[in-house]
Amino acid sequence: MKKNDVILQTVTNVVVFMIFLFSLQVFFSGHYHPGGGFIGGLMTSGAIVLLLLAYDIKTVSKIIPIDYKLLIGIGLFFAVATGAGSLLFNVPFLTHAFSHFDLPILGETSLHTAVLFDTGVYLVVIGVTMTIIQTIGEGE
């Protein structure tokens, strides 16, 4: 007999977006409040894992067609390139810069290159977590 997961799947459809938004909120607040790339990435992959629980691996890879192994590479590249960017200005590796900008909708915002580094961390964490879970899930 085939199981019917209609409640689980319907709840998942709603909750996944909430988890994802919360993870982004945690990610972007990392500089001034508890949070950052690691916990943000872990929570985003938590959302994807919930999808995996409600549906199966094939469906989820159709919804989110990402090769997570490449995501690790992209994330690492982000992080290292942010650090290596300082080589171009002949200052020590990993020297960050920040400034205040007047953006159209958000008003005065301080933008920091550390966010780029954190984006790298975020992507690597998602990539690693999902690679682990998918390979174990697909393994016989």
Partner 1 sequence: MINLLILPIIIPLFTAILLIFLTKYIVLQRWISGLSMIGTISASIILIQTVHTDGIQTLNLGSWPAPFGITLVSDMLSALLVATSSIIAFCCLIYSFRSIGEGREKFYYYSVFQFLLVGINGAFTTGDIFNLFVFFEVMLMSSYVLMVIGGTKIQLRESIKYILVNVISSALFVITVAYLYSVIGSLNMADISRKITEINQPGIVTVIAILFLIVFGLKGAIFPLYFWLPGSYYAPPAPIMALFGALLTKVGVYSILRTYTLFFYHDTGYTHQILMVLAILTILAGIIGAIAYEDIKKIIIYNIIIAVGIITFGISVMTEESLTGSVFYLIHDMLLKAAMFLLIGIIIAITGTSRLSNISGMIKRYPLLGWMFFLASLSLAGIPPFSGFVGKLLLVKSGFAAGHYIGAAVVLMSSLFVLYSVMKIFINGFWGVPKEFPNEGKVPVYMLLAPAGLLIAIGITYGIGAEFVHSYISQAAEVLKNPALYIDAVLKE
- Residues near partner 1 (CB under 8 A) are 69-70, 72-73, 76-77, 80, 84, 86-87, 90-96
Q: What are phi and psi of 92, to 5 degrees?
A: -55, 150
Q: Output 24 or 94, the one with its CB closest to partner 1.
A: 94
Q: Report in angstroms how near the CB of residue 12 gets to partner 1 at its nearest.
A: 31
Q: Output 33 or 69, the one with its CB closest to partner 1.
A: 69
Q: For helices 114-138 and 37-54, what crossing angle results, to 10°?
A: 30
Q: Output 40 or 75, the one with its CB closest to partner 1.
A: 75
Q: Report in angstroms how near the CB of residue 123 gets to partner 1 at its nearest.
A: 12
Q: Report in angstroms how near the CB of residue 93 gets to partner 1 at its nearest.
A: 5
Q: Report in angstroms how near the CB of residue 79 gets to partner 1 at its nearest.
A: 9
Distance in angstroms (rounded) separating the CA atoms of residues 105 and 71: 30
Cβ-in-10-Å burial (0-12, 13-18, 19+) of 106 comes to: exposed
Q: Which residue has the tokens 């999808």?
A: 51
Q: Output 44 or 82, the one with its CB closest to partner 1.
A: 82
Distance in angstroms (rounded) separating the CA atoms of residues 13 and 83: 38
Q: Which two tokens stand for residue 105?
A: 């909708």
Q: By three-state DSSP, how is residue 104 classified?
A: coil
